[in-house]
Structure 1
Amino acid sequence: MGNDLSDSSPLKHQATRCLLVVPPFCDVFMPSLAAHLVHDVLTRSEINTKILYANLIAADLIGFKVYHTLAASHQWLVCERLISLALHKRSHPKVPSATNASVALLIENIKDVFRDAGVDQDAFSVEDILTALDLLEAKFLKEVEVWRPDIIAFTSTFQTITAVELLANAVKSRTPSPPHIIVGGANADGEMALGLRSFMISVDHIFSGELDDQLSQYCRDKSAWSRGITRSKGIYPPYEAYIDYDAFFEQCREYNHPHMDTIWLPLETSRGCWFGEKSHCTFCGLNGSGMKYRAKEGVSAVDEYRHYREKYAPKGFFMVDNIIPKNFFEEFLKPIAALEGVSKADIFYEVKANLSVEEIRLMRDAGASAFQPGIEALSTPLLKHMKKGTSAFVNLRTLFWAKQSGIKCVWNLLARFPNDKENWYQDTLQLLPYIRHFQPPQQSVSKVSIDRFSPHFDRSSDFGIRNIKPAPLYEQIFADVDLNRLAYHFTADFETEFNEDICGLLDLEIAAWRAAWKRRPPTIEAFILDNGGAIVVDTRNTINAADLVVDEFGAVPRLARSDCNESTEEWLISRGLAMRVEGRLVNLIERVHSSGMAHELPFLMQA
């Protein structure tokens, strides 16, 4: 299979031994695609390479439940702040002094993380976590002593910057003749590599950008080892080779992973974003410097699915793509849905919201229990403002079809955009009671930050954005560091009509919505009676006073026959069973039961 990034030049140092390290707080329910890809490339270059999951060691010491709750949170940079405290204990010169106020705020933020995750807020203590990190260092140093690598390579994504420095510093300060240390990953993309250089005093070399043959060449030639930065020579298609994940599963067993049956595997079928190439969402910085779209062939992805499914039997496949390839409904999902005699794994993809009902059901039939359609808002003017390439009608239709089809939508409401209008959020607030039976957002309203690599950041003047500064929490993590280059999240000044009043009202509505779904997902279903009328079961508890709506008028049977007239429409709208969206009449009843048969109703009642 495909592209070979290994180095086939004559060996200069056959004895080179490389230890690849996955640091805390990386996910412990999925192996690191980056680490195993690098392992495959270096092994093909005849470099003796081993992967060490330091995150699994940390989870075993901290407790998997506490660890996972922290690792799954992207709020308040709690993981970076925790390890910054550990570095402060070691008098590291690049972290600030811990104050009573900063520690108290960290504890409060962690409790909020635990509360939002439904975990006991007293299930952790900062002191216990710091003690566990001390033990992690000792275990890590023992692994280094036993393996005796010439080079240690860390992968760094999301909240792992301080963890890499913690472990690297332990090696450099407490190991005789310490090995050469390098780091790469998303946290080293673009000028962030210079930011890392200003902080990671214990790391020798940084690799920035996508993996290419320079890494294997560097590892093989010890005379080239230096304190510097190597930039990728370009961008590359997805790696096409079967990746060996044995080390992850072996170490899961070694470090007492309590939920081996819930492990997912990462699968990459494309890189970049085909939509972002033509219309970059204003707030999105996820693609970094690799926006150009590159995809595998569908048949190749199906082969990988079958290989990993048979070898590892994962609970599911997490597609790391930023967006599903447009042809993959037909070339990837359809063949998987058609597999016979095979227990299908779950599949999770990020997609655009403008799906057909057939595409949504194809994801479900291929094994997907959820998908992320990038809904972000339920106001067409706001969606146009953020260049999402969708509309309120399309987003609502996706939510309706997902509910009908029994597949979960993962989405959130974003707010506080430069030059937005309050009425966009007011319109959303008025809409929410009608769709209480649709899948709710994952959390309360998310105020948009200014993220590196996004148009808001790269072309800030186009949006009237000024005074861009690294998010204040970085100052609780780093000291004497070039935060303008290291940070990913920023604050800024700009004009906005979003305010705390409308935020509070939206949050209250979302909280009630989520609570209703936690008890039992609301529904709207109709039962046609022999007398030509109907009974509508409406458990939203937002529009109608009772759960049962009696239709003596015969509006629902007419709706089921696609025979609505003006009086029918008025009756349905007055009872919140239909509404007008962008001038189109849409139905909110999921299905109708007649003569012992259930029939799903269309979303659009008229063009």
Structure 2
Amino acid sequence: MKIALINMPFGSLYRPSIGISLLQASLEKNGFVCDTYYLNLLFGSMVTTDLYNYFVEQKNTPEEIFPRDWIFSQSLYGKDNFADYEKYINQSNFFRSDAKRNEFYERLMTIRDHVEPFLERALADHHWEQYDIIGFTSVFEQNIASLSMAKRLKEKWANQFIIFGGANCEGEMGKALLESFPFIDAVCSGEGDLSFKHFVQQMAGYKDPSLCHSQGIILQSKYTDEPVMTGSENSPPVHDMDGLPYPNYDDYFTHFEKYGYCGTNPSPRILFESSRGCWWGAKSHCRFCGLNGANLNYRSKSADRALEELLYLRERYQKYTKQASAVDNIIDMKYFRDFLPKLRDMQLDLDMFYETKANLRKEQVQLFRDANFHHIQPGIESLITSVLKLMGKGISMMQNIQLLKWTKEYGVFPYWNFLYGFPSENEEEYQKVVDVIQALTHLDPPGICSPIRLDRFSPYFNKASEFGIVNIRPMFAYHLVYQEQSLETLMKLAYHFEFDYASSQNPASYTQGLIQEIDSWKKHHSQSEFFSVDLGKHLVLVDLRPVRVDNHMLVLTGAEKAVFQFCDNIHSYKAILEHLERNQVPHTKQEVTDMLNRFVQQKLMLTESETYLSLAVPLGNYSPKKQGLERLLEITRGFDSKDLVG
């Protein structure tokens, strides 16, 4: 029994598929021959990495128009509907300028011209007839490319058994794929670690798919006596995470080298998995989040097992990369007691990434840095506390900004987005947050600022009426990508949806100020600095934010210095008074009240619910950006220190 597993465009060129790599390792461990094919790497080599990355890595194209799927749509259906696609894009104003839109069209048509030569070469370059089972992993915009390749395989080798798996195949999405595309023989719904291995073992024995019954493997109707849509439930999830094999990335790096990617920038990243599910989602499912499908149940590996896997992958693939990313949705908080301290002590030459909740303590951010996790995704999502409550994040605006300050201090880059358009959000809060953002230009801005998207499996989707969400329909681009499918079928195939509010809520009418302020944040961030220098009795604040038009250096002493430094963490007014008493710093309540009001008015601090947070990043672990230092020299040139201190 021989199995081929395929990763199609538009999977990233720089990250292997951990899904098929785990399946390959498991099958080989059980005595089967399994090869993985990274046809996305072949396509990237044919179209150039610049063109491929324009659609994958650079985030130049709006997600709502599904350009990566559309590129393969003509190949799948034999119809060129560019005129309709162009009309939709032009009418929807997805691009901010004509130049950006025209560049998109030029690149879109250029890369589409390579689709047929790519598919022909993908068919010719490999001996697909030798395999008993050919599997496709399909995540996000890999569906149409995978369908196009699968259709051609079936046309040439009618007896090949073709199975699809991955996030695009869970639940009714997978069943709709089977109904719509009869050249697919089966789909795997949910985690495939146990069910796919079991199915392969059955196929090896019975040689007949109709005799194989594995939970989560849904067979095409020709193999069963029942319609596809009545197929079985999801695959059983893995509970013994320590029992999983190490992922096998050998084929990925062989292809990476074969197609000439070695030595290119960016370098590839090895992926490791230490947990599945989401412990926060199991407690309070973020209302917009559809990740993990129907299985939020959190399971993690022991610290020793996670460390062993990471060390193995580092050793095996160190020739190709010194970068690694955890694919977990959220880090196990126990890892701050065992896994991360062990990594810190080992000082591996790896640059790593984790996803985390945003309510971290300062020492935890430092531990990320010391363990060489220089990039994190903390799930900030908003800087408005009432909106964060609406989405079920379990965190406040002040905690999110505190984290942004600490990540800046320790050189840990936070990937985050600012989302808006949550049902029942308070419009007035969006006017207030503009004032907050003006004080944050020295901290890392969000990657994007966009309205929420309605995703399958999210509480907003599953319980739409409870949240005032009505008229749910597939995003319009699905009609242009799946050219022959009905609306009823698209409702089953789609993962992303459009919707209306039951109320008169219109986010476009109250978020323009927010969008403009975040654009300004991105524009000024490289030259914006706000840091503090502790000189013993004096605390010097160097403030080069655009919001500070003069007096770019401030000196704090006595109670001012004590309060400002104490509020590096969020503290209440009561705690501030207790801190001053405990440290015998002379003060009166009125002096402290006036001081805090002044700090807030000057945007040196933020306040919410009678708590306070200093915004300056302490010098020491933090080193100012080159552009910021150059601006400081420019400002201070020709002035005496007395002219700069206010």
> 2:425 and 2:359 mapped to 1: Cα distance?
23
Q: CA RMSD in A?
A: 2.9
Counterpart of 1:516?
524
Residue 59 of structure 1: how far off its partner (Å)? 0.7
2:538/2:556 contact within 8 Å kept: yes
Shift of the 373–177 alpha-carbon distance from structure 1 to 2, 3 Å rule, reads closer
Residue 109 of structure 1: how far off its partner (Å)? 9.6
> 1:580 and 1:407 mapped to 2: Cα distance?
25
> 2:20 and 2:435 mapped to 1: Cα distance?
47
Counterpart of 1:157?
139
1:434-449 mapped onto 2 (5 Å cutoff): 434-443=439-448, 445-449=449-453
Residue 71 of structure 1: how far off its partner (Å)? 2.3
Residue 62 of structure 1: how far off its partner (Å)? 1.4
> 1:154 and 1:203 mapped to 2: Cα distance?
10
Residue 120 of structure 1: how far off its partner (Å)? 11
> 1:252 and 1:110 mapped to 2: Cα distance?
37
Aligned length: 563
Counterpart of 1:307?
312
> 2:532 and 2:105 mapped to 1: Cα distance?
45
Residue 246 of structure 1: how far off its partner (Å)? 1.0
2:614 equivalent to 1:582: no
> 1:381 and 1:357 mapped to 2: Cα distance?
24
Residue 99 of structure 1: how far off its partner (Å)? 4.5
Counterpart of 1:367?
372
Residue 222 of structure 1: how far off its partner (Å)? 2.3
Counterpart of 1:234?
236
Shift of the 421–35 alpha-carbon distance from structure 1 to 2, 3 Å rule, reads same
Residue 404 of structure 1: how far off its partner (Å)? 1.5
2:544 equivalent to 1:539: yes
Counterpart of 2:581?
none
Residue 138 of structure 1: how far off its partner (Å)? 1.2
> 1:63 and 1:339 mapped to 2: Cα distance?
38
1:4-403 mapped onto 2 (5 Å cutoff): 16-72=1-57, 73=59, 74-88=63-77, 90-91=78-79, 98-103=81-86, 112=95, 121=103, 125-145=107-127, 148-173=130-155, 175-211=156-192, 212=194, 213-220=197-204, 221-224=206-209, 227-228=220-221, 231-237=233-239, 238=241, 240-258=244-262, 259=264, 262-313=267-318, 314-340=321-347, 342-343=348-349, 345-403=350-408
Shift of the 122–584 alpha-carbon distance from structure 1 to 2, 3 Å rule, reads closer
Structure 1 window deviating more from structure 2 (327-336 vs 100-109): it is 100-109
Of all paired residues, the percent bearing the same amino acid is: 28
TM-score scaled by length of structure 1 = 0.86
Q: Secondary structure at the match of 2:516?
A: helix
> 2:384 and 2:301 mapped to 1: Cα distance?
34
TM-score scaled by length of structure 2 = 0.81
> 1:123 and 1:466 mapped to 2: Cα distance?
33
Is there any run of 5+ residues in structure 1 with no aligned partner, and where? 1-15, 92-96, 594-607
2:531/2:542 contact within 8 Å kept: yes
Structure 1 window deviating more from structure 2 (104-113 vs 241-250): it is 104-113
1:436/1:540 contact within 8 Å kept: yes
- Write out per-residue CA displacement over residues 78-123 of structure 1, whole angstroms, 9 at most, x where no aligned residue: 11111113324x35xxxxx50424146569999959999x999479
1:483 to 484, 490, 494: 490
2:22/2:245 contact within 8 Å kept: no
Residue 127 of structure 1: how far off its partner (Å)? 3.5
> 2:48 and 2:202 mapped to 1: Cα distance?
37
Report the AA paired with residue 345 of structure 2: A
1:347/1:369 contact within 8 Å kept: yes
Counterpart of 1:525?
531
Report the AA paired with residue 110 of structure 2: D
Q: Which is helix-richer, 1 or 2?
A: 2
> 1:187 and 1:113 mapped to 2: Cα distance?
30
Shift of the 480–365 alpha-carbon distance from structure 1 to 2, 3 Å rule, reads same
Report the AA paired with residue 148 of structure 2: L
Report the AA paired with residue 436 of structure 1: T
Report the AA paired with residue 51 of structure 1: T
Report the AA paired with residue 416 of structure 2: W
Residue 255 of structure 1: how far off its partner (Å)? 1.2
Structure 1 window deviating more from structure 2 (245-254 vs 147-156): it is 147-156
1:526/1:556 contact within 8 Å kept: no
> 2:251 and 2:7 mapped to 1: Cα distance?
12
Shift of the 353–65 alpha-carbon distance from structure 1 to 2, 3 Å rule, reads same
Shift of the 102–218 alpha-carbon distance from structure 1 to 2, 3 Å rule, reads farther
> 2:30 and 2:90 mapped to 1: Cα distance?
46
> 1:45 and 1:528 mapped to 2: Cα distance?
61
